[in-house]
C-alpha cells in the first residue's frame, strides 16, 4: 500500500506522530497537519487518498473541513475525536465521514480501518467506467424530464446544464433515475450506494440527498413519509 497518501490532521503533535508512525510502518505515505486551514490548502494542491481528521481543531473545526471535502469528492474520511456522544458520531457521519473512532483509540485498530476504507474506495474506482469509453459511438442515456444521466461517462445534466457530482451523488441519482417513482428505504439506498458492508448511520442518505438538492435545485426527489425517498416523474417525463 505504499502508493497511498494519507493526511493526519490533529493539533496534538503526539497523536499526529503516533498515528503517522503506525501508518508508515504499513508502508503508507503520510503528512501531519495541525490545522484545518493547512489541510484545506493541501486538498487544493496535493489531495491525499484518505483523511484522518480530529474534530477539535483551532479556528475551522474538523466537521467543517469534512463537509468541504465531501462536497467535492468521495475520498475516504475517518474522524478521530474525544467526543463520544452519539450525537457527535451521527453529525460526523451526516457530514460525510466514512468512520468515527473515539479517543483514546488503538493505533492498530485505526490502521485496520484505514485499510478497510482504502479497499472499499479501490473497489468503487475499479467499478467506475473509464470516462468517454463508449459514449461517442453508443450513448446510454437515462432521461427523466430535464434530468439526463450518462452512466458510462458518469455525467449528469439538468435542463442541459451539467452538475458536478461526486461518485456517491451520481450513484444515488442513477438508482433513482433507473426506477422513477419507486420509493426506496434508507436501508436499501445504503446497500445500493455504500455497499452491504457499510455500518454507519442511515442519516448519511439524508445528507447525500441534501447535497444533491443543493447542486440540482429543482430535482424532484421527495420524501415518502414513513418509508424513504423517491424520484417523482410524470408519465411523459420517462424516456
> Is 37 domain-assigned?
yes
Tell whether 132 is covered by a domain. Answer: no
Give the confidence band of 202 by pLDDT, cuts at 50, 70, 90: confident
Q: 118 and 183 in one domain? A: no
In a domain, 176, yes or no: yes
Q: Where is pLDDT greater, at 130 or 153?
A: 153
Q: Specify the higher pLDDT residue, 207 or 28.
A: 28
CB 49, CB 74: distance < 8 Å: no
Given a contact cutoff of 8 angstroms between Cβ atoms, the answer to whether 163 and 146 are in contact is: no
Considering the domain boundaries, does residue 196 fall inside one?
yes
For residue 127, pLDDT beyond 80:
no
How many Cβ atoms are within 10 Å of 169's Cβ, its own excluded? Answer: 22
Q: Are residues 114 and 150 in the same domain?
A: no
Asked whether residue 105 falls in the same domain as residue 27, the answer is yes
How many domains does the chain fold into?
A: 2
Query: pLDDT tens for residues 149-168?
Result: 988 888 899 988 999 888 88
Residue 89 domain boundaries = 5-127
pLDDT tens-digit series, residues 207-238: 889 889 989 988 999 999 888 999 998 765 65
Q: Average of pLDDT values for 44-54?
A: 92
Residue 9 sits in the same domain as residue 119: yes
Show the beta-strand stretches assigned E in the chain. Answer: 5-9, 29-33, 50-54, 77-81, 99-102, 142-144, 147-150, 155-158, 161-163, 184-185, 221-224, 228-231
What's the pTM?
0.66
Q: Is the pLDDT at 32 greater than 80, yes or no?
A: yes
| Domain limit, last residue, from 72, 99, 127 | 127
Are 75 and 22 part of one and the same domain? yes
Question: 68, 101, 127 — which closes off a domain?
Answer: 127
Q: Does one domain contain both 165 and 226?
A: yes
Amino acid at each position: 500500500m505504499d502508493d497511498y497518501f494519507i493526511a493526519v490532521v490533529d493539533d496534538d503533535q503526539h497523536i499526529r506522530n503516533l498515528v503517522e508512525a503506525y501508518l508508515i510502518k504499513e508502508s503508507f505515505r503520510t503528512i501531519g497537519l495541525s490545522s484545518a486551514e493547512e489541510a484545506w490548502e493541501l486538498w487544493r494542491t496535493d489531495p491525499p487518498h484518505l483523511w484522518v481528521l480530529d474534530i477539535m481543531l483551532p479556528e475551522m473545526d474538523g466537521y467543517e473541513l469534512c463537509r468541504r471535502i465531501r462536497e467535492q469528492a468521495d475520498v475516504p474520511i475517518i474522524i478521530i475525536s474525544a467526543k463520544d456522544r452519539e450525537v457527535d458520531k451521527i453529525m460526523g457521519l451526516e457530514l460525510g465521514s466514512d468512520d468515527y473512532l473515539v479517543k483514546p483509540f488503538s493505533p492498530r485498530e485505526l490502521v485496520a480501518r484505514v485499510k478497510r476504507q482504502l479497499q472499499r474506495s479501490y473497489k468503487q474506482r475499479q467499478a467506475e467506467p473509464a470516462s468517454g469509453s463508449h459514449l461517442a459511438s453508443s450513448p446510454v442515456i437515462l432521461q427523466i424530464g430535464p434530468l439526463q444521466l450518462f452512466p458510462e461517462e458518469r455525467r449528469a445534466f439538468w435542463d442541459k446544464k451539467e452538475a458536478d457530482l461526486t461518485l456517491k451523488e451520481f450513484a444515488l441519482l442513477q438508482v433513482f433515475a433507473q426506477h422513477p417513482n419507486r420509493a426506496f428505504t434508507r436501508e436499501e439506498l445504503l446497500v445500493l450506494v455504500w455497499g452491504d458492508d457499510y455500518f454507519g448511520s442511515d442519516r448519511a442518505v439524508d445528507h447525500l440527498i441534501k447535497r444533491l438538492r443543493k447542486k440540482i435545485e429543482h430535482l424532484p426527489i421527495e420524501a415518502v413519509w414513513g418509508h424513504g425517498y423517491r424520484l417523482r416523474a410524470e408519465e411523459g417525463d420517462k424516456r
